[in-house]
Amino acid sequence: MGVGEPPERTDPDAPRIFQSGQPEGVSPLELTGERTLPDVPEENYWYRRHAVVYEWVGARVRGLKVVDLACGEGYGSAVLARSAADVVGVDANPDAHAHAAARYSRPGLSFERRLIDSYEQPRDAVVFLQTIEHVTNPDRILDHCRRLVEASEHPAVYISTPNVLTLAPEGAERSGNPWHVHEYRPDEFRELAAEHFGEVEIFGLHHARALRAHQIAIERLGWDAIHKRLKLTKPFYDRFVPAISEQDFRLVSERERSLDRALDLLAVLRP
């Protein structure tokens, strides 16, 4: 199995996996495949893949009022709060909300349990990462995001989604993730965004450093067949996956590199 393939997360016969090493009084969340989590070694690839985008956005919302819609476990809201003036993490799931509120505490950071389209406080920036593929009403959600920032002097909406061209198995129309309602191709994602925003810029997330070397080893050297033949699969990935960091991903403009090979797509939108 190569890095980035998530069959264990949706296998009903797989053992249940929970976060480890949580602070006192913070209940660990279970890894179900619906959301990614820190503090789960097996999940580290996906966590870092999401965290690097939060870091990138965090550098661009310095001093602004931000809402992190569908914030899940809360780690991303905490990243944004390092630089933003005020961050509200919004999620409807009671366990995720309770966990986030208990674990992440700092000035200017708060969490609200509510449906994302019921949050009405005007903001400078809306962050909505890796969630639009889960919703049945993307047009309504995008309209709602636009309304939240329209009164700001520095409005911006950040929306990311996996690229189905690289997420789905070769030849398949979509991945096997049961939580995804619709998975987007780059052109389709851009067209959806352009229907609701006047300014649309799309960035692509790609492997870098160790992950890029690993990808080349698989694509050009047949590494998948080699580690299976040598019975090294589990020992290798037990060490490799937990060592992945945000530096093993690179977010670049579509002007620099084609979006077709991007892992995830990030739209930066303005009314």
* Record: fold of 7-270: Rossmann fold (3.40.50)
d(CA 24, CA 136): 37
Q: Which of 58-62, 161-165, 196-200, 225-229 comes out lowest in average pLDDT?
A: 225-229
Contacts of 170 (CB under 8 A, 6+ apart): none
Terminal CA-CA length for the chain: 42
Q: In the prediction, which pLDDT does 82 show?
A: 98
DSSP state of 79: H
Q: What is the mean pLDDT of residues 66-74?
A: 98
Higher pLDDT, 167 or 4: 167
Q: Which two tokens stand for residue 67?
A: 């809402």
pLDDT digits (tens, 9 = 90+) for 121-138: 999 999 999 999 999 999
From edge to edge, which strands make up the β-sheet containing 65-69?
A: 109-113, 86-91, 65-69, 125-129, 156-162, 264-270, 199-207, 249-253
Band the pLDDT of 57: cuts 50, 70, 90: very high
Residue type, 216: I
Q: Residue 193 to residues 77, 110, 158: CA-CA distances in angstroms?
A: 23, 28, 11
Band the pLDDT of 210: cuts 50, 70, 90: very high
